[in-house]
Structure 1
Amino acid sequence: MITFVTLNQVATSPQNWVSYTQQIDAFDWNGAKFLANKMKKQLGEKERVTLALDGEQVIGIGALVNKDIVEIPETPYFSTLYVLPSYRNYHFARKIVRKTVSEAKNLNYKQIYVVTQLENFYEKLGFTYKKQVIDFMGREMKLYRQELLL
């Protein structure tokens, strides 16, 4: 059975945090390694990691972070969405996004942003296109925002 959890680094046992970090770091995607490196340091008080778990195995990730891959004042971000290839096409990515957005709302954020190159994914989840931005690797990206009504 697949479960979805959103974790706060301070409230998660160090043993579990290290295990999840190692599993994420082993994903064959540079974005996952970026998130794992953040997790090895100290996440901010309101930063979170959302996991899709098959038992104890991490099969998908997403994060609520203060800063993402662009230098702009907007914050917080939904970041680092990834689902292992063998678990795709079951809408787990959507569930990870929704769970993370719900957590942002619980933390009293008024909006959440996402930087992406994906077409027609975040719009289906209630995000609205705001503008083009350039990430730290010089790539053209789209900035989307979702209003979080309390």
Structure 2
Amino acid sequence: MSDTARDPEGRFELRVPAGWQAAPDEDGDGLEVWKEEGSGTLHLISFAPEGEDFPDPAEELYAFLQEQDVVLQEDEVEDVPLPGGAEMALCEYLTEDEDEGESLFWMVGVATAPGTMVFATYFCPAGEEARERDAVRGALASLQIAGMDEGDGEDEGRRGRRGGRRGVD
């Protein structure tokens, strides 16, 4: 049976995969989820977005990736339905550290709901992602943003009009 963990700010909660642990991050404003003998760590942090009350998660994800000099094809970002009508855009990619000769696998997502945005990053050594990918995706799909009641569905029409995979407008 999986436990549920809530972030220190009280903005979201998610199911912690069986055999994994969760605790506030070093700064005390995010949540880290990991498996003791695992390959990687999932880090989530939330905040109230500036301006738009319910920002588009894909636009926020592309903006974040652009700041990191990560370029993706249009079909490499997917929608992940979340409980209560919240929305998540999720992608996976590899990076290489030329100095260290090391490759990392990244799974990055942005979830939005009225008044809240959650950034999620998971990374592990490249080649080891298959060990934890399903558990991380399951945890992210369980993300419940505070104030979004399960089955609320108020904003599901917006997601439905955009389709299952997204590109940049």
Q: Structures share a fold, TM > 0.5? A: no
Q: Which has the higher contact order (CA 8 A, sep 6+)?
A: 2
More helix per residue: 1 or 2? 1
**Larger Cα-atom Rg:** 2
